[in-house]
């Protein structure tokens, strides 16, 4: 007898998990919450991922594996390397519609850093993010959009600015998150931006 066809892929189920986390937070999350997002039984999730922990680990693994793809898509949409750097602010904000969702995401990180496997994946995710930022900075320098500088150091500063700005906005909640992130990022990059030289009028 042939096995019953699977109507939902693992990717579909992980998308449901992401929405459930945004809705209830990782601490309150149950497999029932994820199952409700896709109108399936919790047993299906147990069969696919083994447990809530297994599902969350796969969610992080997918995020790490998609990092290069996300940067490539953003670069294709924005064009120049510098525009793509600023576009990181809008990209991050698009996935955080309100302060409650941001709080759930921060809780996800805090709750799992004590777990060695989760921490290794979080580290890999951080490195992948910085690798993408570093490439954009080097491309921007080569294109003459940014002045020559220590690209590795600037990549760390840009990443810290984005991550720190998320936490700062979660506390202060001033204006739109995208504008908050973009403003802080532009302030960091601003001194390095090369502006066209105006020709003297005759």
- Report whether pLDDT(113) > 60: yes
Query: Residue 24 sits in a domain of what CATH number?
Result: 1.10.10
Averaged pLDDT of the chain: 88
Residue 39 in domain: yes
pLDDT bin (cut points 50, 70, 90) of residue 115 is confident
Do 113 and 172 lie in one domain? The reply is yes
Q: Which residue is it, tokens 């919790």?
A: 42
Look at residue 109 in the predicted model and tell me its pLDDT.
78
Residue range(s) defining the domain that contains residue 31 = 8-52
In this structure, the number of other CB atoms found within 10 A of the CB of residue 62 comes to: 15
| Domain assignment of residue 59, yes or no | no
pLDDT of residue 28: 87
Q: 147 with 70, same domain?
A: yes
Quick one: tokens of 184? 């802080």
Phi, psi of 146 (to 5 degrees): -125, 145
Number of structural domains found in the chain: 2
Residue 99 has pLDDT above 90, yes or no: no
Whether residue 42 is contained in a domain is answered as yes
Same domain (yes/no): 71, 42 = no
Q: What is the DSSP string of 98-140?
A: SHHHHHHHHHHHHHHTTSHHHHHHHHHHHHHHHHHHHHHHHHH
Same domain, 175 and 93: yes
Same domain, 28 and 72: no
| Residue 1 resides in a domain | no
Q: Do residue 39 and residue 116 come from a single domain?
A: no
Please give the average per-residue pLDDT across 55-80, as a whole number. 92
**Tell me, what's the pLDDT at 196?**
52
Instruction: Indicate the pLDDT class of residue 8, thresholds 50, 70 and 90.
Output: confident
Residue 197 lies in a domain: no
Is residue 201 a part of any domain in this protein? Answer: no
Of 22-36, 83-97, 186-200, the range with the lowest mean pLDDT is: 186-200
Q: Tell me, yes or no, whether 123 and 44 share the same domain.
A: no
- Given a cut of 80, is residue 141 above it in pLDDT? yes
Beta bridge partners of 193: 146
Is the predicted pLDDT of residue 48 greater than 50, yes or no? yes
Q: Are residues 75 and 160 in the same domain?
A: yes
Same domain, 167 and 135: yes
Token code pair at residue 176: 């739109």
DSSP 8-state secondary structure symbol assigned to residue 41: -
pTM for the full model?
0.85
Contacts of 71 (CB under 8 A, 6+ apart): 84, 132, 135, 136
b/e 67-93 (16+ beta carbons within 10 angstroms → b): beeebeebbeebeebbebbbbbbebbb
Task: Say if residue 4's pLDDT is above 50.
Answer: no
Query: If pLDDT is split at 50, 70 and 90, which confidence band does 6 have?
Result: low
**Do 45 and 71 fall into the same domain?**
no
Kindly report, residue by residue over 142-199, the tens digit of the pLDDT: 999 999 999 999 999 999 999 999 989 988 888 899 999 999 999 999 999 986 544 4
C-alpha atoms less than 13 angstroms from C-alpha of 123 in its C-beta half-sphere: 8
Q: Is there a domain that residue 16 lies in?
A: yes
The CATH number linked to 159 is 1.10.357
Identify the bridge partners of residue 146 per DSSP, sorted by sequence position. 193
């Amino acid at each position: 007898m042939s096995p019953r066809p699977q109507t939902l892929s693992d990717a579909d189920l992980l998308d449901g998990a992401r929405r459930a986390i945004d809705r209830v937070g990782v601490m309150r999350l149950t497999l029932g919450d994820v199952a409700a997002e896709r109108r399936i039984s919790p047993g299906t999730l147990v069969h696919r991922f083994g447990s809530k922990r297994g599902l969350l680990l796969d969610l992080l693994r997918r995020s790490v594996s998609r990092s290069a793809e996300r940067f490539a898509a953003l670069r294709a949409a924005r064009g120049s390397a510098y525009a793509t750097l600023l576009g990181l602010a809008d990209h991050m904000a698009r996935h955080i519609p309100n302060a409650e969702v941001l709080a759930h995401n921060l809780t996800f990180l805090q709750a799992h850093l004590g777990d060695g496997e989760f921490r290794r994946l979080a580290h890999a995710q951080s490195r992948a993010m910085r690798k993408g930022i570093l490439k954009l900075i080097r491309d921007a320098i080569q294109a003459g959009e940014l002045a020559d500088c220590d690209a590795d150091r600037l990549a760390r500063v840009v990443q810290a600015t984005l991550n720190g700005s998320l936490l700062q906005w979660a506390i202060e909640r001033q204006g739109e998150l995208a504008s908050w992130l973009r403003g802080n990022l532009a302030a960091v990059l601003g001194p390095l931006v090369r502006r066209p030289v105006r020709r003297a009028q005759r």
